[in-house]
Amino acid sequence: MRASERIERQEETGRLVLDSILFATDFSPSSEVGLRYALALARHYHSKIYMVPAVAMDFIEAIPDDARQRALQQSRAQALSWVAQVQVSGELHGVRHELPAAEGTQESLSRSLENQAFDLAINGIGCREGQTVLLEPSVEEVIRKSECPVLTMGAQFYGSADGEVKNILYATDFSAESLEASRYALSLAQEFQARLTLLHVVEGLEPTLLDERARIARPYKLWLGKLVPDEARLWCELESAVEFGRPAERILQIAWENHADLVVVGARGLDRLTEPGLNVRKVMCNAWCPVLTVSGALASHKQERFWRAAAAASDSRAQEIFEEAS
C-alpha cells in the first residue's frame, strides 16, 4: 500500500492500517524476538508478513562490494534452513505470510516483491551502534517507496516476549516527522488501550531552579496537549512531560522509568532501514524495548493547524498569567 493510500485509509477509519508487514531477519536470537512482535501485530491487524533475509554489518562504507555480495549469498542460503524450521514450528499458523523463495535467489525475491508496498518494516536484527542492516537492493527500494515506519529491536532489548503493548512513550521535537509520528502513537495507544506518555526534551538547557524549569516547560506542555484530540482522553491514559538535557539520554531514561513497551519517534531522512538522525539512532540501538521510527511528514495544512492551535494556547496562557499578576 502506498504511503498516500495508507494515510487516507487511516484518516477515514481513525485506525492504524497495517495490511503488509516486511520482516527482515538474520536468523539471530534478536530476530526471534522480532518475529514474535511481527506475529503479534500481524494477528492483531490481520496483516500479511513478508519475510526477507538480512545481514548485520559494521562500518559498511568500508566493506568492498564483493564482500557484501558474499554476505548476502550466505544469508540466502541460511534462509532456506530457517524457512523449514519456521514452517515445522507452527509459529505462522493463522497468519498470512510469504517466506523467502525456495531457490533463494535475488531474482525470485525481486519477483515476489514486485509492485508491493509495506505499511510497516520490522528490523528483527539487534541494532547496535556502528551497525548497518544490509538488504537486497530490491527490498531497500520497496522500503524507500513505501515510506513506511520502521520497528527496530535494540541490542539491549528486554521487551515483552509476546509483543504486548501496555505503555507507549512518544518523544517529539515538534518537527514535521515527529508530528506525523504522533498519529501512530495515538492510534497504537487506542488500539491496545495503552498508557501514553508524550515527551519533549529541551536541548541545550538544564536549569537548576524549579521555578525556572516550570516556566520554560510551560509552553512545551501546552503544545504537547494540542497533539491529542479531546476524544482521545476518553479511552487513553495520558501523561505529558518536558525534560532537559541530551535528547537521546533523556528519552532512554524516561522509557526505562516508565517501563515502556514501545517508543515512538519521528526520524528525518529515514529512507533506509537504519539511517535516521544521531539522536534517533542512539535511541534505536540502546532502548530496552522496540522503537518505532516514522519518517513521513504530516500534511502541511495539518502542520499549520497544529501550530495555530499551539500559538493560541500560548497566547491564552500568557493572558491568564497577566490577569493573575494584575
175/319 same-domain check: yes
Domain stop point among 101, 121, 148: 148
Averaged confidence pLDDT in the chain:
76
Residue 199 has pLDDT above 60, yes or no: yes
Considering the domain architecture, whether residues 177 and 94 belong to the same structural domain is answered as no
Kindly tell me if the per-residue pLDDT of 297 is higher than 80. no
pLDDT digits (tens, 9 = 90+) for 25-57: 887 766 777 888 888 888 889 999 888 888 777
**In the block, which residue shows the cell 514501545?**
262
With CA atoms as reference, report the closest residue to 201 among 176, 173, 239: 173
pLDDT(263) > 90: yes
Residue after which a domain boundary falls, among 95, 114, 148: 148
Percent of the chain surpassing pLDDT 70:
72
Is residue 131 within 8 A of residue 254, CB to CB? The reply is no
Q: Residue 18 sits in which domain range?
A: 1-148
Tell me, yes or no, whether 134 and 162 share the same domain.
Answer: no
Q: What is the mean pLDDT of residues 118-146?
A: 76
Residue 272 confidence (pLDDT): 41
C-alpha cell at 42: 500481524
CATH number of the domain that 96 lies in?
A: 3.40.50
188 and 133 assigned to the same domain? no
Domain boundary among 130, 148, 166: 148
All cell numbers assigned to 320: 491568564
> Does residue 223 sit in the same domain as residue 272?
yes
Shared domain check, 144 and 175 = no
Rounded-to-integer distance, Cα 33 and Cα 186, Å: 24
Q: At what angle do helices 278-286 and 247-257 cross, to 10 degrees?
A: 30
Whether the predicted pLDDT of 182 surpasses 70: yes
Task: Indicate if the alpha-carbon torsion angle 75, 164, 295, 17 is positive or negative.
Answer: positive
pLDDT digits (tens, 9 = 90+) for 9-18: 555 445 688 8
| 130 and 278 fall within a common domain | no
Distance (Å, rounded) from C-alpha 46 to C-alpha 20? 9
Q: Do 208 and 164 share a structural domain? A: yes
Are both 215 and 239 inside the same structural domain? yes
Do 178 and 271 share a structural domain? yes
Residues 69 and 205 in one domain: no
Same domain, 228 and 86: no
Residues with Cβ < 8 Å from 60, sequence gap 6 or more?
Answer: 68, 132, 134
H helices, E strands: number in the chain: 11, 12
Number of domains composing the chain: 2
